[in-house]
Amino acid sequence: MTSWSGLNTAYFTEDKDDHIYNALVKSIVEHQLLPGNKLPEEALAQAFSVSRTGIRRVLQRLAAVQLVTLLPKRGAHVTSPDADESRDVFTTRKILECANLPQVVAHCQSTHIAALKKLLEEEKLAHESRNGPAAIRLSAAFHVQLQAISGNKVLTEAVSQLTLRSSLAIAVWGAPWQQGCRCTDHDVLLDLLKNRDAKGLADSMAHHFDHIVASLRFESHQDCAPDFMQLFAADAVKADKEAL
């Protein structure tokens, strides 16, 4: 199955729990559910037409990948990373992604360039049309697919998981208009990859992450309660059909 970031992964299978998990991950990383939002079992169970037990299983899985925080007597909330954790997430991504770029360059073929170019064109269209959720998803997918060229599945999966947490950090600390990465940065990265300039690519990637962190505003944010029935109406119908 294809994950929210556009890669074929083993994260999601075909049962109803997985469809709910996928829908919640997508809504969190695309900033439809914001850090700090409460995730009440009863409201989610009604939205997806499932039992609270099923919702509880999904919330536990989301907690395992640090997208949700479970607190005794307070229930589940979308994780709200503090400033230090947010910086650490981007620092870790910078270390992993930059270190792997020589392998990316070594394994890169024309088909990889074409796929990244297509992805970048879609990202630009999302920004131009002010489609925030798509811009965030495509921005993350660019980074994940770039690293996937190396063939290192373990590192690619780690980067994929870190992009989820990056989205949370941007939701908490980013400016209201901030939607993923700057397309112009990705243009530069793609050009350097075409030229097989491993050093230039690593330097530009490091600068790219430095810019993202510098753009974050480490101030408090306000919570806004989501409408679960409206948010997941289409996903609930889809899950019901596929469960038949």
Q: pLDDT tens digits for 167-200? A: 999 988 986 655 556 668 999 999 999 999 999 9
CATH of 15-76, one of 3.20.20.150, 3.40.50.300, 1.10.10.10, 3.40.47.10: 1.10.10.10
Residue 159 confidence class, pLDDT cut points 50, 70, 90? very high
- The Cβ of residue 74 has, within 10 Å, a number of other Cβ atoms equal to 9
Rounded to whole angstroms, the Cα distance separating 192 from 119 reads 16
Token duo for residue 141: 């997918």
Show the tokens assigned to 28: 């969190």
Q: Which CATH class for the 81-213 domain?
A: mainly alpha
pTM recorded for the entire structure:
0.79
Q: At residue 58, what are phi and psi to the nearest 5 degrees?
A: -65, -40
- Tally of CB atoms within 10 A around 120: 18
Distances (CA, A) of 99 to 96, 105, 106, 159, 160: 5, 11, 13, 12, 16
Structure tokens at 88: 């650490």
87 — pLDDT class (breaks 50, 70, 90) = very high
Q: How far apart are CA 231 and CA 117, in angstroms?
A: 31
The encoded tokens of residue 225 equal 């309660």
In the chain, where are the structural domains located?
Answer: 15-76, 81-213
71, β-bridge pairs? 75
